[in-house]
C-alpha cells in the first residue's frame, strides 16, 4: 500500500456527481488518477473542458484527472480503486472489473444502497464477485457529504470502514485533507446500513415537508427513523455505536434536512402530489432511496424486523397509498416503550 502521493496509483469508477467530486478531492490533494465514466460525452467534456457539465457543473477539474471509458485502464495495476456507481449497477460493473483488478488492490465503495434481489451490501457484492482478492481488502467510505459541497471544499467529515484496521487507515490517509476529515471504524455492515437506510428516510422527510406538516413531524421521523436503522442494522450484525455516528445519524440528519439531497427532493415532490414515475423521468441522476426502499422492505419482511416508517415509504412508492393515509397509520399504531426492539 503506497502512501506517497506521487506513487499511489488510483482509479475511480463512476463519473456521476459523487464520483467526480471525490476524484476532484484526490486530484486537488496531488494524486494523478484515472476516472472511468460510462458516457462518452462526459469523457470528452472532462478531457476538453475540464468540467463534468452533466453531473457536476460549475467545477473546474484538475489535470490530474484522466477520464476514460475503458475499465481496464481505470482499474488495472492500481493500489486503490474507488467504486462510485449506482447500487443497482454495482454487480455488473464488478464483473467487468474482475479480470483487471490486482489481488493486492484495495477496493473502496462510496456507493450507498442494498441490492434488490440478494439484499447484499456493496462490499458484499464486490468481495463475492472479485473473490480473488482477500475480504480484508474491501472498504467503504460514507458519511454526511453532499457532492457539490465536497467539490467546493466545504469542511466535511466522513468515516472509512474495513474489517482490517490497516486497510481503513490506508483509506483514511489517502482521502484526508484539510477540508475532508476521515475517521475509521471496523464496522462495514453498520456503515453501509446507515448509508442505505438514510436515503429511504430522506424520502419520508421530504414527503413531510412537501405536505407542509411542520417541524415537529420531521424531528420525530428522524429520531424514529434512527431507531429503525438500529433495529435492522443490529439484526445484520452492525454495532449500534456505528449507527449513532457519521454514517448513521450524521448522514441521516444531512439528507433529511438538506435541499441538495436527491432523495429528499423526490419525497418532497411526492408530498406535493407529483407521481413517482414523472419525478424519475425528469431526473438524470439516481435517487438511490427509491430502489433501496424495495430492498429494505423485502429484507425486513424476510428477517421479521419491524420498520413502520420504511414500510409506509414503500406503500407510497410502490402500492400507490395516499401520503395522508400513511401519517394516520403511523400515528395510530399501538403504543409502545420508546426502546422496544431498538437495543
User: Taking CA 87 as the corner, what is the angle to CA 77 and CA 27, rounded to the nearest 5 degrees?
Assistant: 45
User: In the listed set 138, 170, 186, which residue is the last one of a domain according to the structure?
Assistant: 186
DSSP class of residue 56 equals B
Contacts of 165 (CB under 8 A, 6+ apart): 184, 186
- Judgement on whether residues 181 and 194 belong to the same structural domain of the protein: no
pLDDT range class, residue 341, cuts 50, 70, 90: confident
In this prediction, residue 171 carries a pLDDT of: 97
Calpha distance 188→227 (Å, rounded): 19
* Residue 339 within a domain: no
- Residue 13, classed as helix, strand or coil, is strand
Distance CA 167, CA 181 (A): 17
The whole-number average pLDDT for the span 189-212 is 97
In terms of Cα–Cα distance, which of 181, 142, 132 is closest to 162? 142
Q: Is the pLDDT of residue 286 over 80?
A: no
Grid cell of 241 as nine digits: 455505536
Query: Residue 336 falls within a domain, yes or no?
Result: no
The pLDDT of residue 2 is above 80: no
Torsion angle, CA of 25/88/227/216, rounded to 10 degrees? 80
Q: pLDDT, tens digit, for every residue of 92-132?
A: 999 999 999 999 999 999 999 999 999 999 999 999 999 99
Q: Which tens digits make up the pLDDT trace of 70-80?
A: 999 999 999 99
State whether 88 and 139 are in the same domain.
yes
* Number of compact structural domains in the chain: 2
Phi-psi map region of 168: left, alpha, beta (phi>0 left; psi -120 to 50 alpha) = alpha
- Would 55 be classed as within a structural domain? yes
173 and 198 part of one domain:
no
Q: What is the pLDDT of residues 7-64, one digit of tens each?
A: 899 999 999 999 999 999 999 999 999 999 999 999 999 999 999 999 999 999 999 9
Q: Dihedral (C-alpha) 142, 143, 146, 149: value to the nearest 10 degrees?
A: -110
Residue holding cell 457519521?
Answer: 246
- pLDDT of 3 > 60? The answer is no
Which cell is 162 given? 474495513
Measure the N-to-C terminal CA separation of the chain; round to a whole number of Å.
Answer: 38
Q: DSSP code of 85?
A: -
Give the tens place of pLDDT for each residue, 220-264.
999 999 999 999 999 999 999 999 999 999 999 999 998 899 999
Last residue of a domain, one of 186, 202, 222: 186
Q: Which residues are catalytic?
A: 198
Say what the pTM is. 0.95
Crossing angle for the helix pair 188-210 and 308-318, to the nearest 10 degrees:
60
Q: Which of 198, 289, 204 is nearest to 250 (CA)?
A: 198
- Is it the case that residue 4 has pLDDT exceeding 70? no
In this structure, the answer to whether residues 263 and 160 fall within a common structural domain is no
**74 and 55 housed in the same domain:** yes
DSSP 103: T
Q: What is the mean pLDDT of residues 285-305?
A: 93
Given a cut of 60, is residue 1 above it in pLDDT?
Answer: no
At 340, the pLDDT band (50, 70, 90 cuts) reads confident
CA-nearest of 57, 285, 261, 241 to 144 is 261
CATH number at 144 reads 3.40.50.720
Q: Is residue 244 part of a domain?
A: yes
Q: Note whether residue 343 is domain-resident.
A: no
Tell whether 288 and 233 lie within a shared domain.
yes
Residue 4 lies in a domain: no
Only one residue has cell 479480470, namely 99
Domain that holds residue 106: 10-186
Q: Are residues 255 and 207 in the same domain?
A: yes
Q: Which of 163, 186, 209 is the last residue before a domain boundary?
A: 186
Residue 337 lies in a domain: no
Quick one: 219 and 141 in the same domain?
A: no
Q: What's the CATH number where 202 sits?
A: 1.10.1040.10
- Residues 170 and 281 reside in one and the same domain: no
Predicted confidence (pLDDT) per residue in 136-181, tens digit: 999 999 999 999 999 999 999 999 999 999 999 999 999 999 999 9
Q: So what's the pLDDT on residue 297? A: 98
Backbone angles phi, psi at 218, to 5 degrees: -65, -40
Contact status, residue 307 vs residue 114, Cβ threshold 8 Å: no
- 324 and 230 assigned to the same domain: yes
> Based on the domain organization, do 126 and 200 belong to the same domain?
no
Q: Are residues 108 and 226 in the same domain?
A: no
Distance, CA of 310 to CA of 210 (rounded, Å): 17
Whether residue 340 lies inside any domain: the answer is: no
Amino acid at each position: 500500500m503506497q502512501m506517497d502521493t506521487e506513487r499511489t496509483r488510483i482509479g475511480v469508477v463512476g463519473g456521476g456527481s459523487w464520483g467526480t467530486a471525490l476524484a476532484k478531492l484526490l486530484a486537488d490533494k496531488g494524486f494523478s488518477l484515472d476516472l472511468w465514466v460510462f458516457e462518452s460525452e462526459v469523457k470528452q467534456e472532462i478531457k476538453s473542458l475540464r468540467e463534468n457539465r452533466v453531473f457536476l457543473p460549475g467545477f473546474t477539474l484538475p489535470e490530474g484527472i484522466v477520464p476514460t471509458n475503458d475499465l481496464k485502464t481505470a482499474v488495472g495495476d492500481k493500489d486503490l480503486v474507488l467504486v462510485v456507481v449506482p447500487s443497482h449497477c454495482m454487480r455488473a460493473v464488478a464483473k467487468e472489473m474482475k479480470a483487471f483488478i490486482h489481488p493486492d488492490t484495495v477496493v473502496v465503495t462510496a456507493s450507498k444502497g442494498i441490492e434488490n434481489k440478494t439484499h447484499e451490501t456493496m462490499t458484499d457484492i464486490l468481495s463475492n464477485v472479485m473473490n480473488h482478492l482477500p475480504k480484508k481488502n474491501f472498504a467503504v467510505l460514507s458519511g454526511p457529504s453532499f457532492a457539490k459541497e465536497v467539490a467546493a471544499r466545504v469542511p466535511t467529515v466522513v468515516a472509512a470502514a474495513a474489517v482490517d484496521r490497516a486497510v481503513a487507515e490506508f483509506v483514511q490517509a489517502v482521502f484526508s485533507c484539510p477540508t475532508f476529515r476521515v475517521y475509521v471504524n471496523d464496522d462495514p455492515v453498520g456503515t453501509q446500513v446507515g448509508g442505505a437506510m438514510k436515503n429511504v428516510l430522506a424520502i419520508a422527510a421530504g414527503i413531510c415537508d412537501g405536505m407542509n406538516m411542520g417541524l415537529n413531524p420531521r424531528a420525530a421521523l428522524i429520531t424514529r427513523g434512527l431507531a429503525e436503522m438500529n433495529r435492522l442494522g443490529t439484526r445484520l450484525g452492525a454495532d449500534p455505536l456505528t449507527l449513532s455516528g457519521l454514517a448513521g445519524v450524521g448522514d441521516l440528519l444531512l439528507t433529511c434536512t438538506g435541499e441538495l439531497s436527491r432523495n429528499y427532493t423526490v419525497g418532497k415532490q411526492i408530498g406535493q402530489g407529483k407521481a413517482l414515475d414523472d419525478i424519475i423521468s425528469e431526473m438524470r441522476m439516481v435517487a438511490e432511496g427509491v430502489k433501496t426502499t424495495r430492498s429494505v422492505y423485502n429484507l425486513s419482511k424476510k428477517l421479521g424486523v419491524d420498520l413502520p416508517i420504511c414500510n409506509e415509504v414503500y406503500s407510497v412508492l410502490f402500492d400507490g397509498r395516499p401520503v395522508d393515509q400513511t401519517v394516520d397509520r403511523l400515528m395510530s399504531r399501538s403504543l409502545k416503550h420508546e426502546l422496544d426492539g431498538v437495543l
